[in-house]
């Protein structure tokens, strides 16, 4: 086997080396469009700026200077998205983070829903039965070819009868397995979509995410990313389970036939996995970019459709169409990167799949020629070899799907994280008790060091007013500090939609007592 093995590895190493050698470049692109990886809204308002500052502007500048350095340096949500030129590699830390994100999103459904537990038990049971059927078919195939090689018609007909019976029993099992797997994926998608939609509307998260521009294309994340997450998660998990079961079953068969063949398959699969990961690691980052750019392109088309009347009145179709074409070019340019990365990977994977047809025969043929094994055993060794190789080569066979799924986990996890953050950014206001206030005091409230966060730009727009403002006819009873702020700050901005801020409201008498050196009355 020494010379044959060397020839096989040499034949496989050539496409592997070619895959590493071929660059991603080589196709003309639009240089000007590669300079910007994230498109901001074309009509976004500019940052406020004026050379003549009024007292409120001075207070605003003073508050800006007090912002934390990490807040000023963050650069918004766009900074969290890797540029197209940045290469994302598969490292253990990133894998652990993604697994934690996956578990955090996926686990609640299977903990809370009884039907999910029943369906997953059915799917796992059918997976075990499917593996048993595959093992049985491998023995039937062995007997079939042995009877044919021995020219034994009685044994051949008997094997055909067993094969027919196994086929009649195996088809319903295989169909039921796919049916219940798809049913579980559909119910999981419905449950997760409902949960994400509830989070999306709670505390006006939809408004805050849009105003802060922290997450791009939430519609795609709710519709497509949730669907892909549930479908691919279930498919990959069941495939992994089936691979483990098949690996244990067919390894026993292969070891009983020829242990050296089992050693050859371990070396071959390990070599293929390492080369595939090394060649195709750039696909993760490219797939992430493609999801974002396709969503940007669809959003620009949807925006033009929804605002068709306004665009027509103002003659803005030229500007809108230029923006749409720009986003289309960005998507196409990134897709070229994806095609070239897939080409480099396929140089290796295609050669890898072709060599499977040669390796088992090259290893086990001396035993057949020496008359130590029958033709049926050779056929069974081919089947067991292919099963084990598929199980060990799951990364090679599904690397492109895994990279796309990895990008989807990142996007959905980021979306859920931002919605959860928006729920804890609540404005804290101390309630004012009117139990000890006179009617005049109830009608006069003063605010002290009131700061309100502008959700669009993330900077304070009001701070440290040096005067008292009154609120006549306040709502009674004072049920909500947010409602009170909405009235008191009517001239500043609609506070009913704001969740960020600092400071407090107190009665005018309490403020005057504190400024005069006295102790304020108990609230």
**CATH number of domain containing 411:** 1.20.1560.10
Same domain, 446 and 420: no
In a domain, 66, yes or no: no
Q: What is the spatial distance between Cα 375 and Cα 229, in angstroms, rounded to a whole number?
A: 45
Residue 319 has pLDDT above 80, yes or no: yes
Same domain, 236 and 337: yes
- Domain residues for 349? 2-23+89-424
Same domain, 254 and 202: yes
Q: How confident is the model at residue 518 (pLDDT cuts 50, 70, 90)?
A: low
Same domain, 292 and 358: yes
Q: How many CB atoms lie within 10 A of CB 440?
A: 9
Distances (CA, A) of 311 to 314, 320, 326: 5, 8, 18
Backbone angles phi, psi at 425, to 5 degrees: -85, 65
Q: What is the spatial distance between Cα 276 and Cα 348, in angstroms, rounded to a whole number?
A: 7
In a domain, 208, yes or no: yes
Lowest pLDDT segment from 11-20, 259-268, 314-323: 11-20
Same domain, 388 and 508: no
Q: Please tell me the total count of domains within the chain.
A: 2
Lowest pLDDT segment from 37-41, 120-124, 307-311, 424-428: 37-41
pLDDT digits (tens, 9 = 90+) for 261-301: 888 888 888 888 888 888 877 887 888 888 889 888 988 88
Same domain, 372 and 484: no
- Of 449, 340, 380, the C-alpha closest to 19 is 340
Same domain, 255 and 403: yes
In a domain, 58, yes or no: no
In a domain, 65, yes or no: no
pLDDT digits (tens, 9 = 90+) for 403-455: 777 777 887 888 888 887 766 554 443 444 444 555 554 444 444 444 444 44
Share of the chain above pLDDT 90, in %: 7
What pLDDT was estimated at residue 239?
83
* Beta-carbon contacts of residue 478 (< 8 Å; ≥ 6 apart): 431, 432, 434, 484
Same domain, 383 and 510: no
Same domain, 389 and 283: yes
């Amino acid at each position: 086997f020494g010379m044959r093995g060397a020839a096989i590895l040499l034949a496989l190493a050539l496409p592997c080396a070619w895959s590493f050698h071929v660059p991603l470049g080589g196709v003309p692109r639009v240089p000007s469009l590669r300079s910007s990886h994230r498109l901001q809204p074309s009509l976004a308002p500019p940052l406020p700026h004026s050379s003549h500052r009024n007292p409120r502007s001075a207070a605003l500048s003073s508050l800006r200077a007090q912002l934390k350095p990490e807040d000023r340096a963050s650069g918004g949500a766009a900074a969290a998205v890797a540029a197209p030129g940045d290469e994302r590699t598969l490292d253990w830390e990133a894998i652990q983070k993604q697994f934690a994100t996956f578990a955090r999103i996926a686990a609640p459904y299977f903990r809370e829903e009884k039907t999910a537990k029943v369906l997953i038990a059915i799917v796992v049971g059918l997976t075990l039965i499917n593996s048993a059927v595959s093992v049985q078919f491998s023995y039937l195939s062995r007997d079939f070819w042995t009877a044919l090689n021995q020219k034994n018609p009685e044994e051949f007909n008997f094997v055909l009868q067993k094969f027919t019976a196994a086929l009649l029993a195996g088809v319903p099992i295989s169909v039921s397995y796919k049916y219940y797997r798809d049913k579980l994926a559909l119910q999981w998608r419905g449950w997760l979509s409902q949960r994400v939609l509830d989070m999306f509307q709670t505390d006006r998260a939809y408004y805050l995410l849009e105003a802060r521009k922290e997450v791009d294309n939430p519609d795609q994340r709710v519709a497509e990313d949730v669907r892909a997450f549930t479908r691919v998660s279930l498919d990959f998990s069941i495939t992994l389970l089936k691979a483990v079961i098949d690996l244990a079953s067919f390894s026993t068969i292969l070891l009983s036939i020829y242990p050296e063949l089992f050693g050859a398959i371990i070396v071959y699969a390990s070599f293929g996995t390492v080369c595939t990961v090394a060649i195709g690691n750039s696909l993760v980052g490219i797939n992430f970019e493609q999801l974002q750019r396709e969503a940007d392109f669809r959003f620009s088309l949807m925006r033009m459709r929804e605002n068709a009347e306004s665009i027509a009145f103002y003659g803005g179709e030229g500007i809108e169409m230029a923006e749409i074409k720009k986003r289309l070019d960005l998507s196409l340019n990134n897709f070229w990167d994806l095609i070239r990365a897939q080409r480099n990977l396929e140089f290796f994977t295609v050669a890898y799949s072709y060599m499977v047809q040669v390796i088992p025969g090259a290893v086990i043929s001396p035993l057949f020629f020496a008359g130590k094994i029958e033709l049926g055993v050779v056929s069974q060794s081919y089947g067991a070899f292919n099963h084990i190789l598929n199980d060990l080569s799951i990364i090679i066979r599904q690397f492109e799907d895994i990279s796309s799924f990895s990008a989807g986990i990142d996007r959905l996890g980021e979306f859920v994280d931002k919605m959860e953050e928006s729920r804890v950014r609540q404005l804290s206001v101390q309630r004012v008790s009117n139990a000890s206030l006179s009617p005049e005091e109830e009608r006069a409230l003063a605010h002290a060091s009131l700061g309100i966060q502008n959700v669009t730009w993330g900077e304070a727009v009001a701070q440290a007013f040096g005067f008292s403002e009154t609120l006549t006819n306040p709502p009674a009873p004072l049920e909500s500090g947010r409602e009170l702020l909405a009235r008191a700050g009517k001239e500043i901005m609609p506070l009913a939609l704001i969740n960020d801020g600092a400071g407090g409201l107190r009665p005018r008498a309490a403020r005057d007592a504190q400024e005069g050196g006295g102790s304020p009355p108990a609230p």
